[in-house]
Structure 1
Amino acid sequence: MINILIVEDEKPISNLIALSLKKAGYHCTCVYDGMEALDMLEGQYPDLILLDIMLPGADGFEILEYVKPLNIPVIFLTAKDALEDRVAGLRLGAEDYIVKPFEIIELLARIEVVLRRYCKLENHISVEGLEIDTDSRTVMRYETKIHLTQKEYDILLLFARNPGKVFYREVIYERVWGGDYTAESRTVDLHVQRMRKKVGWEECLVSVPRIGYRLEVRK
């Protein structure tokens, strides 16, 4: 599982980010102080750091200088929206610079871009009889290519990357369509059912009553 370190001194923001990333299948650790982040980085190496600039103890620019030799990608999340701050952050080596406030769906998309750049996300997935090539977006089952719509493929990839994890309908909708889910909508269920039938996952992609769906990997 991808490990993301969130360094943000505003706890409500940090907790919201962590909750959203966990729903998307990431493992998160939150720290609220720059020195605490540096202490943690002496003993463990996350796959990605989401880093505020204005922090107690040590600021984001100082942390980035420390992190550069470790080859850990950094995305700045900050209220400092001046052009010179953005340029300074990118020149120091940050992979991206996102100004608060931001939409979670945009943050998730940018995280995926950076993780792919660093080859943290696998480009080939074998799961439950399927061979998925994420570069070409092709899906094979027993050497037969399966044709999926874009939404069906995105749903498939969400489960393939997170076997055993329960996904709420709201989370599936947010990740695949973006925007807010309405309880009356049957969009998620219809797309999941069509995708499940096409790839032969009628038995292993199970419905969780009143919640959503889970991919059960059979041994």
Structure 2
Amino acid sequence: MRILLIEDDPDLAEVVALGLRNESYAVDLAGTYADAEELLRTTGYDVACVDLGLPDGDGLDLLRRLAHDGALRRPRRSLVLTARDAVADRVAGLDAGADDYLVKPFHFAELVARLRALARRGTGYGARIQVGELTLDLAAHRAWRGGAELNLTAREFSLLRYFMHHPGEVLSAEDLLEHVWDVHANPFTASVRVILSRLRRKLGDPALIVTVTSVGYRLGAPS
């Protein structure tokens, strides 16, 4: 899952981003309204975490724009992260289009739990995802094939999670780069192929992720 973290406090932004990356999320940072706008013009995000008090604008205005401005790519979900704790502020944030609202200071574990909840909305998935022989525990960051636990890196876990959220779908390398890697990924490297090869090897035989020639990759049942 790829997250846009819009936060003008650089120390807080770095701490939260590091924690989220350790949870196997891809995270891009924007410290201003303008930075966020630039990223949203070119990149699709699964979740935007929006601070309201930005130095060059109000996060509420950005949330409202996402609903109707075709020049911006609207994230699938949005979460307000702000020190504004009055009921009127919460109502304004949700009415502006946010899916959730979390007041600073917050516990990091709660932020991660809310992100998991946002990711589950509309999918029918719970805290565990089951696809054929594969089981993924999103909270514990554990994965199994059959009864055997898989020893996955954070990136491998994130890649498998994305495949398991889209079982049977053909996913291009560009899809995987956009949702599993962050803005620092070089689209001209073999990064997707290398991580995917490692994941396939750890998943074992028969193969669960197959290559669809000239199109991409698909997670399906073994033949």
Which TM-score applies when normalising by structure 1? Answer: 0.60
Mapping 1:16-95, distance limit 5 Å:
16-69=15-68, 70=74, 72-95=76-99
**Larger C-alpha radius of gyration, 1 or 2?**
1
Q: CA deviation at 1:164?
A: 3.0
Q: Counterpart of 1:102 in structure 2: which amino acid?
A: F
1:145-184 equivalences under 5 Å are: 154=140, 156-157=142-143, 163-165=152-154
Q: How does 1:180-199 map to 2 (within 5 A)?
A: none
Q: Deviations over 1:6-26 (max 9, x none)?
A: 000001111111011001010
* Distance apart, 1:95 and its partner CA: 0.8
For the structure 1 residues 41 and 51, does the alpha-carbon distance in structure 2 shift closer, same or farther, using more than 3 Å as the test?
Answer: same
Identity %: 29
Whichever residue aligns with residue 75 of structure 1, its letter is L
Q: State the 1:131 CA deviation.
A: 2.7
Distance 1:30 1:54 in 2: 15
CA distance in 2, matches of 1:114, 1:106: 12
For structure 2, which runs of at least 5 residues remain unmatched after alignment? 69-73, 156-200, 205-223
* Distance in 2, Cα, partners of 1:108 & 1:25: 11
> Which fold has the larger relative contact order, with Cα–Cα distance below 8 Å and residues 6 or more apart in sequence?
2
Q: By how many angstroms is 1:155 displaced?
A: 5.1
The Cα of 1:106 is off from its aligned counterpart by 0.4
User: What's the TM-score once normalised by structure 2's chain length?
Assistant: 0.59
Cα deviation 1:126-148 (Å, max 9, x = unaligned): 6xxx33277xx9xxxxxxxxxxx
Query: 2:135 maps to which residue?
Result: 132
Q: Which amino acid aligns with 1:131?
A: L
**CA offsets per residue over residues 24-46 of structure 1, 9 Å max, x none?**
01000011001110111111111
Q: Partners in 2 of 1:165 and 1:155 — Cα distance?
A: 9
Using a 3 Å threshold, how does the CA distance of structure 1 residues 88 and 157 change in structure 2: closer, same or farther? farther
Work out whether residues 74 and 96 of structure 1, in 8 Å CA contact, stay in contact via their aligned partners in 2. Answer: yes
Q: In the TM superposition, what is the alpha-carbon distance from 1:101 to its structure 2 partner?
A: 0.3
Amino acid at match of 1:156: R
C-alpha change, 1:80 and 1:6, in structure 2 (3 Å) is same
**Paired residue for 2:100, among 80, 96, 102?**
96
RMSD of aligned alpha carbons: 3.5
Any runs of at least 4 consecutive aligned residues in structure 1 with deviations exceeding 6 A, and if so which? Answer: 158-162
Which of 106, 111, 121 is residue 110 of structure 2 equivalent to?
106
